């Protein structure tokens, strides 16, 4: 459970998030909305890259906003980025190991080996563990980010358009991985994506942002049928209309 | 580069190659070359350490520092002063010089936590300039007795001592090669460990590094400390190569710019690049001055020569980055 209360973010005169109050339940939550709605800004607040003007975010009884950015990963916030950020000069194994060794509270090299291997198995990259990332294609890089997000003990996994640029078949694999995260790690997952099929397949619950305001939240099927949501998307996202019609 | 990587596939192979080069340098060079060239090879090993320290910051962590001549000069100065003032063994002097330089390196690194890119380059150059002024005000490098001994007559400058077991030019050259080898191996080891992975993350994306739980501030300061330690030891080794009449020239702003140009030209992504930079900046330049028409002209124009090399390198890298779509 992630309790967001009265969250407001301003950049100069622009209000990116306006008094957002919402509770994300356990499991996988969708966060959708047209471009510029404030989805990535919300992730940046959770990651600690953006300091909100006001509001609070409580998770497992901890006020996340009081933790410095790098310590949030230690607490359990994990994140993937719109443009994938797998580290090119490291091997696949080292990419995942880096996250583990900076977030695990204890454990020697044996524990690290096990945790990283399990994460790589989870996303199906065990075969290329020793390959340098720069030699790998886009799908593998995306999946490395997924392994980085689940290694160790994540409590809140933020996925920012993980399906962007992936063909259908690979999106299906991605979808299966995302759906397995809560059971494997116990973490709450928040998924931002424009691919409504992916959101519908993964998320029982969704919240919709538009111009920095919370437009609707609840079971995904109800939210997507909401007239306000449809109106927000009208002309903005034909893909959604296609999906819903 | 991909081809080179294929040629050097394994870490063990690279360590072996480095050991072979170090052994060849220790025993073949004095056997085959005159004293003049042995002295140039000494400078090569020292410059390789120094260029690798620049490469560590720039190539591994993405920090463009033009200030590495500051810990280099401080290392030389501390070694020189302690050599006169104490009877500590020479290797201990080098370690102390490295530690003092590391402290200065962290100070130089502090602004790096706020600025990056061109601004970091400027700030570090200014800091190097202020260290240059301090060194010149305290009459660096004076050869009087004690900690602050100052002599007024150039002829009164006493020669600085070398390690007892390596007092001849050839023996001291071998000592430098061994020291350079140890430092390079230590850095290569660190690069394969937790700090190396953290630096690779920071270089690619600080935001992503923070999201991975990396204390970016702390690891940047580690990098500055280690790079300054390397430069400090290099400075101490350098002080021993010119026992009498060490000048401020290698530690000036001009030297700072020459250093970054040579380091980038040699290659900043690998420790081999540091060695290559050392070869370019010392042996290659000495070869041009000794054997090629123009002679002294080559030294006078070395900055322009390496500036051109730097430009070529940057143009090529920018093109490669654009191809990957990360230059924005």
What is the interface pTM, i.e. ipTM, of the complex? Answer: 0.88
For residue B54, what are the CA distances in angstroms to A75, B68, B252?
35, 7, 16
More confident residue, A37 or B116: A37
The chain B residue lying nearest A147, using CA atoms, is B212
Searching chain B, which residue's CA lies closest to the CA of residue A157? B211
Phi and psi angles of residue B298, each rounded to the nearest 5 degrees, phi first? -65, -40
Q: Is B1's pLDDT higher than 60?
A: no
* The pLDDT of residue B101 is above 80: yes
Query: Residue A28's pLDDT is what?
Result: 96
- Cβ separation of B213 and A79 shorter than 8 Å? no
A92–chain B nearest CA distance, Å: 12
Among residues A178, A217, A181, A211, the alpha carbon closest in space to that of A195 is found at A178
In this prediction, residues B60-74 reach a mean pLDDT of 91
List, for residues B266-280, the tens digit of each pLDDT value.
888 888 999 999 898
- Decide if B67 contacts B225 (C-beta within 8 A): no
Residue B298 pLDDT: 78
Question: Is position B7 within any domain?
Answer: no
The answer to whether residue B29 sits within a structural domain is yes
- Three-state DSSP state, A235: coil
Chain A CB within 8 Å of residue B191 CB: no
Mean of pLDDT values over B38-54: 94
Percent of chain B residues past pLDDT 70, beyond the cut: 88
pLDDT > 50? residue B3: no
Q: Contact A89/B204, CB-based, under 8 Å? A: yes
pLDDT at B156: 67
Chain B residues closer than 8 Å to A131 by CB: none
Cβ contacts below 8 Å, chain A against chain B, sum to 65
Domain membership flag for residue B79: yes
Contact A88 B204 (CB under 8 A): yes
**DSSP labels for A30-94?**
EEE-STTSSHHHHHHHHHTSS--SEEEEEETTEEGGGS-HHHHHHHTEEEE-SS----TTSBHHH
Is the pLDDT score of A94 beyond 90?
Answer: yes
Of A70, A79, A87, the CB nearest to B204: A87
pLDDT of A27 strictly over 70: yes
Give the separation between CA A119 and CA A100, rounded to whole angstroms.
Answer: 10
Give B205's contacts in chain A (Cβ within 8 Å): 85
pLDDT for the residue numbered B326: 44
Which residue segment(s) compose the domain that B260 sits in? Answer: 14-324
* CA count, 13 A, side-chain hemisphere, A218: 9
Q: What whole-number percentage of chain A has pLDDT above 70?
A: 95
pLDDT for the residue B245? 66
> How confident is the model at residue B2, as a pLDDT?
45
Work out the mean pLDDT of chain B and round it to a whole number.
85
Is B186 inside any structural domain?
yes
**Residues across chain B:** 328
Test the A interface: residue of B60, B211, B328 with most A CBs within 10 Å: B211
Distance from CA of B54 to the nearest CA of A (A): 18
Chain A residues inside the 8 Å CB shell of B213? 70-74, 99, 102-103
User: Which residue in chain B is spatially nearest to A103 when comparing CA positions?
Assistant: B213
- Measured CA to CA, the distance from residue A222 to residue B52 in angstroms comes to 60
Report the mean per-residue pLDDT for chain A: 90
Lowest mean pLDDT among A85-94, B178-187, B249-258: B249-258
Spell out the residues 6+ positions from residue B319 whose beta carbon is closer than 8 angstroms to its own.
none
Q: How far is CA A238 from the centre of its chain?
A: 24
Query: Which pLDDT score is estimated for B324?
Result: 55
pLDDT at residue A87 in the model: 92
What's the CATH number where B141 sits?
A: 1.10.3470
Which residues of chain B are within 8 Å of residue A90 when distances are taken between CB atoms? Answer: 197, 200-201
Q: Does B168 touch chain A (CB under 8 A)?
A: no
Residue pLDDT, tens place only, A158-192: 999 998 888 999 999 999 999 999 999 999 999 99
Between B150 and B225, residue with greater pLDDT? B225
- pLDDT given for residue A244 in this prediction: 59
Which of B4, B113, B203, B213 best probes binding to A when mutated, by most A CB atoms within 10 angstroms? Answer: B213
Alpha helices for chain A (secondary structure H): 39-47, 69-75, 92-103, 109-123, 138-150, 168-185, 196-202, 220-225, 227-233, 238-244
| B residues 241-300 closer than 8 Å to A (CB) | 269
CB B109 within 8 A of CB B271: no
Round to whole Å and give the CA distance between A201 and A219: 12
Does A48 reach chain B within 8 Å, measured CB to CB? yes
- Look at residue B192 and tell me if it is in a domain: yes
Q: Do B197 and A97 touch (CB under 8 A)?
A: yes
Structure pTM? 0.88
Residue B214 in contact with partner chain A when CB distance is under 8 A: yes
Using only C-alpha atoms, chain A has a radius of gyration, in whole angstroms, of 18
Percentage of chain B exceeding pLDDT 90: 37
Please state the rounded mean pLDDT for residues A220-225.
Answer: 90
Listed residue (A198, A187, A212) closest to A240, CA to CA: A198
Q: Is residue B305 one of the residues assigned to a domain?
A: yes
Residues 6+ apart with CB under 8 A from A155: A59, A60, A75, A76, A77, A186, A187, A188
State both tokens at B202: 């920071």
Q: Does B204 touch chain A (CB under 8 A)?
A: yes
Q: Which residue of B has its CA nearest to A92?
A: B197
B312 touching chain A per CB within 8 A: no
Q: What is the pLDDT of residue B117?
A: 78
Query: Tens digit of pLDDT for each residue in B213-236?
Result: 999 999 999 999 999 999 999 999
Give the C-alpha distances (Å, rounded to integers) separating B40 from A21, A143, B136, B323. 69, 51, 26, 39
pLDDT of residue A233: 75
- List CB contacts (< 8 A) between A99 and chain B: 212-213
Whether residues A101 and B205 touch (CB distance < 8 A) is answered with no
Residues of B in Cβ contact (< 8 Å) with A48: 210
CA angle at residue A56 from A51 to A62, to 5 degrees? 105
Best mutation site among B8, B60, B198, B212 for testing chain A: the one with the most A CBs within 10 Å? Answer: B212
Tell me which chain A residues have a C-beta less than 8 angstroms from the C-beta of B198.
98, 102
Is B286 inside any structural domain? Answer: yes
The reply to whether A78 touches chain B by the CB within 8 Å rule is yes
- Is residue B159 scored above 80 in pLDDT? no
| 3 state SS of A200 | helix
**How many angstroms separate the CA of residue A100 from the nearest CA in chain B?**
8
pLDDT at B218: 93
What pLDDT was estimated at residue B327? 35
- The answer to the question of residue B4 being in a domain is no
Helix (H, G, I), strand (E, B) or coil at B132: helix
Number of independent structural domains in chain B: 1
Q: Cβ contact (<8 Å) for A70 and B216?
A: yes
Q: What residues contact residue A8 under an 8 Å CB cut-off, 6+ apart?
A: A15, A17, A18, A19, A20, A52, A53, A54, A55
| DSSP state letters, B29-95 | HHHHS-HHHHHHHHHHHHHHHHHHHHHIIIIIH----S-THHHHHHHHHHHHHHHHH----HHHHHH
The neighbour count for residue A114, using CB atoms within 10 Å, is: 12
pLDDT of res. B242: 79
């Amino acid at each position: 459970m992630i309790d967001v209360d009265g969250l407001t973010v301003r950049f100069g005169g622009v209000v990116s998030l306006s008094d957002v109050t919402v509770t994300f339940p356990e499991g996988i939550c969708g966060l959708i909305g047209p471009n510029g709605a404030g989805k990535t800004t919300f992730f940046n607040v959770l990651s600690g890259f953006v300091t909100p003007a006001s509001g609070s975010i409580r998770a497992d009884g901890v006020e996340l906003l009081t933790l410095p950015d790098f310590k949030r990963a230690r607490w359990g916030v994990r994140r993937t980025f719109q443009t994938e950020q797998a580290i090119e000069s490291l091997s696949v194994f080292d990419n995942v190991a880096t996250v583990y060794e900076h977030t695990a509270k204890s454990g020697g090299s044996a524990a690290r080996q096990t945790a990283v291997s399990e994460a790589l198995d989870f996303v199906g990259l065990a075969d290329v563990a020793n390959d340098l990332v720069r030699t790998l294609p886009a799908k593998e890089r995306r999946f490395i980010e997924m392994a980085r997000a689940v290694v160790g003990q994540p409590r809140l996994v933020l996925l920012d358009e993980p399906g962007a640029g992936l063909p259908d078949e690979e999106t299906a694999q991605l979808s299966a991985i995302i759906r397995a995260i809560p059971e494997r790690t116990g973490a709450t997952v928040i998924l931002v994506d424009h691919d409504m099929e992916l959101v519908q397949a993964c998320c029982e619950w969704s919240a919709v942002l538009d111009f920095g305001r919370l437009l609707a939240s609840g079971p995904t099927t109800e939210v997507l049928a909401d007239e306000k949501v449809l109106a927000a998307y009208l002309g903005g996202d034909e893909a959604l209309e296609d999906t819903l019609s | 580069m991909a081809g080179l990587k294929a040629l050097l596939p394994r870490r063990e192979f690279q360590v072996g190659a480095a050991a072979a080069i170090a052994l060849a340098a220790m025993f073949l060079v004095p056997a085959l070359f005159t004293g003049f060239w042995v002295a140039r090879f000494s400078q090569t090993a020292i410059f390789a350490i120094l260029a690798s320290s620049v490469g560590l910051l720039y190539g591994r962590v993405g920090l463009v520092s033009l200030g590495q001549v500051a810990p280099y000069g401080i290392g030389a100065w501390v070694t020189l002063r302690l050599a006169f003032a104490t009877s500590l063994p020479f290797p201990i002097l080098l370690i102390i010089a490295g530690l003092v330089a590391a402290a200065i390196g962290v100070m130089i690194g502090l602004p790096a936590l706020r600025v990056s890119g061109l601004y970091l380059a400027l700030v570090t150059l200014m800091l190097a300039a202020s260290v240059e002024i301090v060194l010149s005000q305290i009459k660096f490098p004076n050869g009087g007795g004690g900690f602050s001994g100052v002599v007024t007559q150039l002829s009164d400058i006493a020669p600085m001592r070398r390690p007892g077991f390596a007092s001849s030019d050839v023996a001291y050259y071998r000592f430098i090669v061994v020291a350079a080898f140890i430092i390079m191996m230590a850095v290569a080891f660190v690069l394969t460990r937790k700090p190396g992975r953290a630096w690779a993350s920071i270089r690619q994306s600080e935001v992503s590094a923070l999201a991975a739980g990396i204390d970016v501030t702390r690891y940047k300061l580690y990098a500055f400390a280690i790079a300054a330690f390397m430069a400090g030891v290099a400075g101490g080794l350098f002080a021993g190569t010119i026992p009498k009449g060490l000048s401020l020239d290698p530690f000036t702003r001009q030297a700072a710019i020459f250093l970054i140009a040579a380091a980038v030209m040699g290659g900043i992504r690998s420790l081999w690049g540091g060695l290559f930079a050392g070869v370019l900046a010392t042996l290659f330049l000495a070869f041009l001055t000794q054997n090629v028409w123009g002679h002294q002209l080559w030294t006078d124009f070395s900055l322009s020569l390496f500036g051109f090399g730097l430009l070529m390198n940057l143009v090529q890298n920018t093109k490669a980055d654009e191809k990957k779509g990360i230059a924005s």
